């Protein structure tokens, strides 16, 4: 791996860890309902991503991806809300990865043709857009053209990073809030 990839991976990991800790900490102090929280997070992803990139067809792809991400994230949060902490953690990690990948696959499918971004490389799109860790995405391009992973990263802008960080925040909040509610129910 190149030093750039390691730097970006480390930065994403640090931001994710901070978001998870913030979610756990806020769960002790605040009680938010899941639906308004997920709606706010989805709206913030849409606003921040649409305003940081070109308008047009890209905006539609961002809105579709954010709506899909919000729906899968809400479903995951609803599923783990009353589960045991270990099970909730495992399910939330799996559900979070599915939410992020589904959203970014939807984004790429709407934005790029199947010849530009071959669909069999769909599981490589997240690491390519987020850190540049995957450079071979199967697209047929000449040496003078911008590589597909760079084009996808530029087009997605903040979308992958926001989704990763906010997924970590939201699901850690829900899991910790559920654990606190169960503890209070047992103690009371």
Q: What is the pLDDT of residues 12-61, one digit of tens each?
A: 999 999 999 999 999 988 888 888 899 999 999 988 888 876 667 788 89
Give yes or no for residue 77 having a pLDDT over 70. Answer: yes
Question: Using one digit for the tens of pLDDT, what is the confidence trace for 173-183?
Answer: 999 998 888 77
What does the block give as tokens for 159?
């979308």
Give the C-alpha separation, 146 to 133, whole Å: 16
Please report whether residue 25 resides in a domain. no
Please report whether residue 119 resides in a domain. yes
Please report whether residue 87 resides in a domain. yes
Give the C-alpha separation, 24 to 46, whole Å: 24
Tell me which DSSP letter residue 144 carries.
Answer: T
The candidate with the shortest Cα–Cα distance to 149, out of 117, 101, 109, is 117
The pLDDT assigned to 92 comes to 95
Q: Which domain holds residue 129?
A: 3-8+33-183
Phi and psi at 63, nearest 5°, equal: -65, -40
Please report whether residue 14 resides in a domain. no
What's the number of domains the chain is made of?
1
Describe the crossing of helices 148-156 and 85-111 by its angle, rounded to 10 degrees.
Answer: 110
Please report whether residue 21 resides in a domain. no
Phi and psi at 147, nearest 5°, equal: -60, 150
Please report whether residue 84 resides in a domain. yes
Please report whether residue 16 resides in a domain. no
- The residues, any chain, with a CB within 8 Å of residue 13's CB and separated by 6 or more, are none
Please report whether residue 22 resides in a domain. no
């Amino acid at each position: 791996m190149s030093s750039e990839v390691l730097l970006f991976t480390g930065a994403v990991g640090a931001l994710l860890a901070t978001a998870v800790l913030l979610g756990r900490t806020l769960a002790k102090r605040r009680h938010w309902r899941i639906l308004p929280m997920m709606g706010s997070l989805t709206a913030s992803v849409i606003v921040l991503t649409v305003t940081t990139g070109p308008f047009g067809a890209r905006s539609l792809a961002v809105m579709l991806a954010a709506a899909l991400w919000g729906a899968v994230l809400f479903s995951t949060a609803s599923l783990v809300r009353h589960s045991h902490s270990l099970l909730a953690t495992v399910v939330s990690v799996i559900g979070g990865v599915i939410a992020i990948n589904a959203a970014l696959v939807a984004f790429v499918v709407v934005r790029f043709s199947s010849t530009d971004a071959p669909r069999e490389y769909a599981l490589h799109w997240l690491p390519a857009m987020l850190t540049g860790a995957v450079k071979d995405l199967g697209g047929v391009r000449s040496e003078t053209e911008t590589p597909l992973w760079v084009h996808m990263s530029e087009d997605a802008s903040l979308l992958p990073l926001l989704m990763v960080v906010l997924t970590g925040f939201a699901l850690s909040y829900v899991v910790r809030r559920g654990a606190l509610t169960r503890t209070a129910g047992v103690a009371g």
